Amino acid sequence: MSDIIHLLPDSIANQIAAGEVIQRPASVVKELVENSIDAGATKIQVFIKDAGRTSIQVVDNGKGMSPTDARLSFERHATSKISNAKDLFNLQTMGFRGEALASIASVAQVELKTRQAHDEIGTFIEIEGTQTRQETISCPIGTSFNVKNLFFNVPARRKFLKSNTTELRHISETFQRIALTYPDIYFSLTHNNSDIYLLPQTNLRQRIVQIFGKKINQQLLTIEAKTSIVNISGFVGNIDSAGKSVPQFFFVNGRYMRHPYFHKAVTEAYSRILKPEQTPAYFIYFDINPAAIDINVHPTKTEIKFQDEREIWQILTVCVKEALGKFNVVPSIDFDTEGKIDFPIEQPTIIPKTITPNFDSNYNPFASKRAKKTPIETFEKLYQKQHSIKFAEPQEIVPNSELFDTKNTTNNEYFQYKNKYILTTVKSGLMVINQQRAHMQILFERFLQGDNQEVFSQQLLFPEKIELNTTECSILNEIEPQLKLIGFEISNLGQQTFAVCGIPSLLANCANIEHTIKELLDCAKEHDMKIHSDLNKILAFNLAKSAAISNHQSLTQEEIDDLIDKLFQCENHQFTYDGKPIITIIDDHELEKRFNS
């Protein structure tokens, strides 16, 4: 029998490798810019056409390549950066696998122009598929790669690319991450001939300002820690910087990384000074012995494993708290953790021991005459179909005999409990309605009905001007039709400035329109605008969430009745869009069980 194993031709092996390294235009930008940094460039310009589909060009003033190196650079495992395994543990460069250029050339048409300082003349190489053409050329010192028609020979991957807005956003994020690591390098990013970023050489603080705007300058608090394990430097934001969508960056040894565990360390340091939905801005740089982190990570992965994770957690916590304390952001600093290893412990949900019912003592249920009665029986029947729902945390409600005295409460009468729940009796027991979720659901369904109502958008007397960053602009352009459906009228004034001329009338009392819009953009970003048909719902839900009454709001009897009426008119009054129960019933059986046990 003849042998059946054969080696794949290089062109195919490279394409397979490309699938790993080059996932989208942003990956090409990352690889080329990192190469320029490795080549010692002090000026790196990135030119993009059609979100990278047509062309991605990176021009640098680095050390350039000799004619032979230029040709070799496209070979797989061709690298000038390591020559033996030992070097792996002492990496000073961004790249080392020698895989990127081979991968890129296997899925795109590539042009390279390069010249070294001591050469009079440079090298031009053009690669398309397996065809290579090399010539001498006159060109400036440094290197210019132009990657054209990415995935031209892999139609499935080309089709897989997302909208231009999404791809451009990925490019812009990649670019930001690198630009924030090398403030001493001039970077520019240009898309279809318009400049997105022009970042002259500067210091770190100013680089952050260049990217995120002047306002952030006063919000940055310096952090610094030098220890035998790790050096930490950078900035954390003060309270004013906090929000739902704020820049948060970790870098380790000059590389962007994601680190949920350290993220928690930072946010916990703020736990006493920020609202639960707020999160602080931060730009934190770890400098650590490369041997103490896992460098053998996948080239596209941004997670990094640290050997001394727990110790670093503590150092990080102390230096963030110190920065906050120094600038009088928190009343006192917790120094008693010094010397101790303070492992993070999951706080069990605190269950209140005694609950004092908070309701209107003047309220007489017999006096209240509601015009419309809710069809409670029907509702209850509906509800009982949901066998799967159990009253999850029975401890939360301690029935108070007075409160539930049947003499005082009759069917169809509602009252507020703890400014958070609305209670009533139903045939099978005690019904508890979460007022915030109820209101959320009412608003949610209304927002969604928006497209049938013409009077839905309310014109603002004075249009509100908002300024957005590049990412937000591109998301806004993409979801503008959806925002219109739920009642926003926004016009583009150019230069990343927009005028909000109309808002959903249900938001008429909204204090901070800019904030609300930014939150919506953020939520669209989070959902990657994948599921366009659901985007309306997601936006409507988020809007409803921010417009709904709070969990601590005292309601008048009229308001309670109105809320309940509207809730039962909802198509779905049992669950919110994100699947949380709005209503629960503690049935008589459950109650009896408690008294008998």
**Which residues contact ligand ADP (rule: CB under 6 A)?**
31, 35-36, 39, 60, 62-65, 73, 78-81, 95-101, 143
CB of 95 to Mg ion, least distance (A): 3
With beta carbons less than 8 A apart as the criterion, state whether 294 and 255 touch: no
Q: What is the DSSP string of 485-527?
A: HTT-EEEEEETTEEEEEEEEGGGTT-S-HHHHHHHHHHHHHHT
Q: Which of 14, 27, 35, 536 binds Mg ion (CB under 5 A)?
A: 35
Q: Strands of 109-115's sheet, edge to edge?
A: 131-137, 122-128, 109-115, 142-148, 55-60, 43-49, 186-191, 194-199
Alpha helices in 354-395 (DSSP H): 376-384
561 binds, among ligand ADP, Mg ion, none (CB under 5 to 8 A by kind): none
Toward ligand ADP, which CB reaches closer, 11 or 217? 11
Query: Mutual orientation of helices 557-569 and 435-449 as an angle, nearest 10°?
Result: 50
Q: Give which of ligand ADP, Mg ion, none residue 216 binds (C-beta under 5 to 8 Å, depending on kind).
A: none
Our CB check for ligand ADP shows the closer of 35 and 584 to be: 35
- Residue 28 CB, shortest distance to Mg ion, in Å, is 11
Sheet harboring 248-252: ordered strands across? 220-226, 231-237, 282-287, 248-252, 255-257
Q: Least separation, in Å, of the C-beta of 76 and ligand ADP?
A: 8
Lookup: tokens for 334 = 């917790």
253, 181 Cβ separation under 8 angstroms: no
Q: Is 221 in the site for Mg ion (CB under 5 A)?
A: no
Least distance between Mg ion and beta carbon 34 (Å): 5
End-to-end CA distance of the chain: 77
Q: Toward ligand ADP, which CB reaches closer, 87 or 380?
A: 87
Residue pair 109/149 in contact (Cβ under 8 Å)? The answer is yes
Using the rule CB under 5 A, which residue among 44, 100, 265, 376 binds Mg ion? 100
Q: Of these partners, Mg ion, ligand ADP, none, which one is at the site of residue 427 (CB under 5 to 8 Å by kind)?
A: none
Contacts of residue 195, defined as CB under 8 A and 6 or more positions apart, other chains included, come to 188, 189
Interior/surface letters 236-245, b for 16+ CB within 10 angstroms, e for the rest: bbbbebbbeb
| Site residue total, Mg ion (CB under 5 A) | 3
3-state helix, strand, coil in the chain (%, to 5): 40, 20, 40
Q: Which does 504 bind (CB under 5 to 8 A by kind): Mg ion, ligand ADP, none?
A: none
Among 25, 95, 122, 450, the residue binding Mg ion under the rule CB under 5 A is: 95
Residue 80 touches which of ligand ADP, Mg ion, none (Cβ within 5-8 Å per kind): ligand ADP
Q: Which does 81 bind (CB under 5 to 8 A by kind): ligand ADP, Mg ion, none?
A: ligand ADP
Q: Which one of ligand ADP, Mg ion, none is in contact with 370 (Cβ closer than 5 to 8 A by kind)?
A: none
CB closer to Mg ion, 103 vs 374: 103
Residue nearest to ligand ADP (CB): 95
Which of 93/233 has CB closer to ligand ADP?
A: 93
Q: Are 42 and 25 in contact (CB under 8 A)?
A: no
Give the interface segment with Mg ion, choosing from 98-106, 110-118, 172-180, 351-359 (CB under 5 A). Answer: 98-106
Amino acid at 307: Q
Distance in Å, CB of 577 to ligand ADP, minimum = 45
For Mg ion, the binding residues (CB under 5 A) are: 35, 95, 100
